[in-house]
Structure formats: structure tokens, C-alpha cells
A and B are shown apart, each in its own frame.
Chain A
């Protein structure tokens, strides 16, 4: 299984600022994804991080608010821009193993609180 390191694990941010979350995988993976989990809710996909090209965003999420980079096969970042209290959530990075190309593995998540 792939080991995914995500940081920071938590942060408290002022409204109007931006936070960049990093995701590092210990082995080559095929797909990388970013999910949001609002308090007490399920996971919702924000976007698919594509290597060397623009991310593919799900309905309701836009690049200006959630810019994503993936400069190589094992690293991606998600920025939450111009934050408001409604952005307070857990953000999770996920990757699909290149070996099996089936199950997805997750980072430990970033708990973001916007005040």
C-alpha cells in the first residue's frame, strides 16, 4: 500500500487568507484526488490532480478558490484561497496505487478552522 503524508495536519486561519496543503506519496501512483469532508458529513471530491496540467474540478468547485498543482507523480498541493468560515472542513488527499490501480489510499487529512 502507498503511504501518503499530508501536512499540515491542522491549522486555524484568519478569514481572507489562503492555506496551502501538501500531499506527498512514497511511491508512484496513477491518480491523485482532493476531497473535502465538512463536519459530520461524507467526503466530497473537489478535483482530480493531473500531472503537469490543470486539475479537473467537480461541479461546485472552481480553480480560483481551490488551485491545485501536481508537478510530478508523487506530489500535489491544494490551496484554499480567500478563506471564509464556510471553508472550515477536513481536506483529504487520496491516491490510487500504480501497482493495483484499484483501491485508493488516503492521507491523514488536514483539519482547517477559519475564524
Chain B
């Protein structure tokens, strides 16, 4: 079974600074997807960024980028120029690339609460 580990329960960053959230995972599969989701107090789970395991290039979405190290099974999220609206819980998630039924479910880490200070 796949597992996802987020070792930082809480992180803090000053506005306009850069912060990196860590995530490691364990899997025996070679083809899969990794995601970072943001959950603000509104409870809505918002997709921040995704990475396909077969791609060597790290994904980037505006101020958000990842450092994907497949051999090390590491998938960290870097937030640049942090804004007050970035404050939220951030969850790392794994999904098999297999399309059949429950195999396509998401496995989540325990989350990192990000605080953004002035």
C-alpha cells in the first residue's frame, strides 16, 4: 500500500518570502501522480499543482513549484513571494496511474499548516 508522509505539522513564513513544504511517499509502482492540495478555513480542497511521475521536469504554476526526486521518493512544494492568502493547510497526495476503480483514489499525507505573517 502507498503511504504519504508530511513531517512538518506547521510552518511559518513572512509575507513575500519563500517557504518549502516537504513530502515523502512510498510506493512500488513506477507510474503515478503526485499532487499538492490547499485547504483554507472554508474547507474547500483546492488543487495547487500536480506532477506526473514519468516527467523529469518539475511542475510549476505561477508562484508554486515542486522539487520532484523520484529516486528519493520526495515531492516538496516551494511557494515564492508568499501572500496572506496562502495561509492554509497543505496536503500532499498520491494517485496511481492505473485507471481502474478504487486504484485511482487519492492517498493523503497528514498535512502542513502554513501561517503567513506580516
Contact = CB atoms under 8 A, between A and B. Distances in A.
Interface stretch (B65-73, B80-88, B97-105): B97-105
Question: SS class of chain B's interface: helix, strand, loop or mixed?
Answer: mixed
B44 interface: yes
- In this complex, the interface size class of chain A, counting residues with CB under 8 Å from chain B, is 20 to 34
B42 interface: yes
Find the residue from A33, A90, A102 having the highest chain B CB count within 10 A: A102
B47 A103 contact: yes
Interface residues of B, number: 22
Interface of B: 33, 35, 37, 42-45, 47, 50, 52, 91, 95, 99, 101-102, 104-106, 108-111
Interface of A: 1, 30-31, 33, 41-45, 48, 50, 56, 58, 90, 92, 94, 96, 101-106, 108-109, 111
11 contacts: A30-B99, A31-B105, A43-B108, A48-B101, A48-B102, A50-B101, A102-B95, A104-B106, A105-B47, A106-B44, A108-B44
List the 9 closest pairs (A to B, CB-CB), nearest first. A106-B45, A109-B43, A48-B102, A42-B108, A43-B108, A42-B110, A108-B44, A56-B102, A45-B105
